[in-house]
Amino acid sequence: MCPIGYVHNTFKEAVFDEKMYSSISQIVLKEELQDGLKNITDFSKVYVLFYFDRSEGYDLIQKRRYDGKLSGVFASRSPKRPNSIGLTLVELLEVKGNMLTVRGLDAIDGTPVLDIKPFIENDLAGDGLRSP
Amino acid sequence: MCPIGYVHNTFKEAVFDEKMYSSISQIVLKEELQDGLKNITDFSKVYVLFYFDRSEGYDLIQKRRYDGKLSGVFASRSPKRPNSIGLTLVELLEVKGNMLTVRGLDAIDGTPVLDIKPFIENDLAGDGLRSP
């Protein structure tokens, strides 16, 4: 696993509040990967997979933010996971060269990005949860 | 990165057809991680992150399955990606011990699973794309 780019925003630590969930971030891709963005603006939302590089270790049972219930790590979005991969569905606002502007990325400044994938509305249709 | 478990199903190679998208798979977690599933049945859909262990290399521009357009790898769900992480939203049908039964997982038999995360309906609400 190797970063494809990095997050740039004003968040120096994770807060997970309304401000962060509605905030704007830039993702700056490595220049040599810029062609990988071709036609990404066909989609209004994309998944961002990132690396929780400032999270250490994990607990199998954690109090989850969603509802405060003591729950398993796989029933929560906690950063303290066996594999430190974060996943957030964000709004894609703009793409310029190797820079994406997105809204709703709950990752802090400098976070390594591992992948970007399009969100397909039909993923949620009754006939399948497909990925193109 | 280390597998948390493995996919078990009848698919020996990727076909990405209707049959695969509606198929049933088991995910068998490592026994020592079983507690991480506590309360996962609060959710009817979960994201499965997995490792494309039989995919080698990547192309920045590929013809994507979604619409046949020549597109960037980050505008496609191709397995040939800089980091070989797959992501599928599946229906969670049953959990027994360390085994999950899911529908719609487009990963082949033996695929290493990297993470499981709950899908929250409100992720798609207008007020945020949040992850709890």
Query: What is the dihedral angle through the alpha carbons of A41, A42, A45, A46, rounded to the nearest 10 degrees?
Result: -80
How close does chain B come to A11, measured CA to CA in Å? 16
What number is the average pLDDT over the span B81-102? 96
Give residue A20's pLDDT. 74
Give residue A123's pLDDT. 56
What number is the average pLDDT over the span B99-123? 91
Of A30, A7, A38, the residue nearest A111 (C-alpha): A7
Q: Is B100 exposed, middle or buried (0-12, 13-18, 19+ CB in 10 A)?
A: buried
How close does chain A come to B31, measured CA to CA in Å? 12
Q: Do A128 and B18 touch (CB under 8 A)?
A: yes
> Does the pLDDT of residue B132 top 60, yes or no?
no
Q: Is A85 exposed, middle or buried (0-12, 13-18, 19+ CB in 10 A)?
A: buried
- High-pLDDT (> 70) share of chain B, %: 90
Give residue A125's pLDDT. 44
Q: Is A121 exposed, middle or buried (0-12, 13-18, 19+ CB in 10 A)?
A: exposed
Give residue A132's pLDDT. 41
Chain B, residues 66-125, CB within 8 A of chain A, namely 66-67, 69-77, 81-83, 85-91, 103-104, 106, 114-118, 120, 123-124
- Whether chain A has a CB inside 8 Å of the CB on B35: the answer is yes
- Whether chain A has a CB inside 8 Å of the CB on B21: the answer is yes
> Does the pLDDT of residue B124 top 50, yes or no?
yes
Are the C-beta atoms of residues A87 and A16 closer than 8 Å to each other?
A: no
Per-residue pLDDT of B10-24, as tens digits, reads: 998 877 667 777 899
Are the C-beta atoms of residues A89 and A45 closer than 8 Å to each other?
A: yes
Set of chain A residues whose Cβ sits within 8 Å of the Cβ of B125: none
Rounded to two decimals, what is the model's pTM?
0.92
Give residue B40's pLDDT. 97
Q: Do A91 and B129 touch (CB under 8 A)?
A: yes
Distance CA A127, CA B6 (A): 25
DSSP H helices, B17-123, are 18-21
Q: What is the pLDDT along chain A (132 residues), one digit of tens a residue?
A: 899 999 999 998 877 667 777 899 999 999 999 999 999 999 999 999 999 999 889 999 999 887 899 999 999 999 999 999 999 999 999 999 999 999 999 899 999 999 999 998 765 544 434 444
Set of chain B residues whose Cβ sits within 8 Å of the Cβ of A64: 132
Are the C-beta atoms of residues B105 and B9 closer than 8 Å to each other?
A: yes
Give residue B4's pLDDT. 98
Are the C-beta atoms of residues B83 and A51 closer than 8 Å to each other?
A: no
Set of chain A residues whose Cβ sits within 8 Å of the Cβ of B73: 36
Residue with tokens 């949040």: B130
Distance CA B4, CA A60 (A): 12
> Does the pLDDT of residue B1 top 90, yes or no?
no
Residue with tokens 């797959």: B86
Set of chain A residues whose Cβ sits within 8 Å of the Cβ of B38: 60-61, 70-72, 75
